Amino acid sequence: MFLHLGANYLIPKKEVVLIGDLKSTTYSGISKEFLETAKEEGFIIDCSEGKARTFVLTAETIYLSMISSNTLEKRMKELPGEDGGLEYGE
């Protein structure tokens, strides 16, 4: 299954490592430095149309999304698991 990040971006659910709130995460100096380095290295894809609220970490890429982290987490829980069944609270 795929997770919709906004602006016609879809990523495979199984690739998602972490969904984080951009505002609360960037208070930490180490997190801010991590995101700045990722941007410099070309590992960030901005699918937020300049309105980033959330970042989605995969093994290869960090996606910036305009959709709240709470909404993306709910979408993850609603998507069927790899076996076709629901993973969370069937």
Q: pLDDT tens-digit profile of 27-77?
A: 888 988 999 999 999 999 999 998 999 999 999 999 999 999 999 999 998
Residues 6 or more apart whose CB falls under 8 angstroms from that of 49 comprise 6, 7, 66
Answer whether residue 61 is part of any domain.
yes
Answer whether residue 34 is part of any domain.
yes
The 10 Å Cβ neighbour count of residue 8 is 7
Answer whether residue 84 is part of any domain.
no
Count of structural domains, the chain: 1
Answer whether residue 41 is part of any domain.
yes
Confidence check: pLDDT of 83 > 50: no
Answer whether residue 43 is part of any domain.
yes
- Residue 73: which domain range? 2-78
- Residue 81's pLDDT is 66
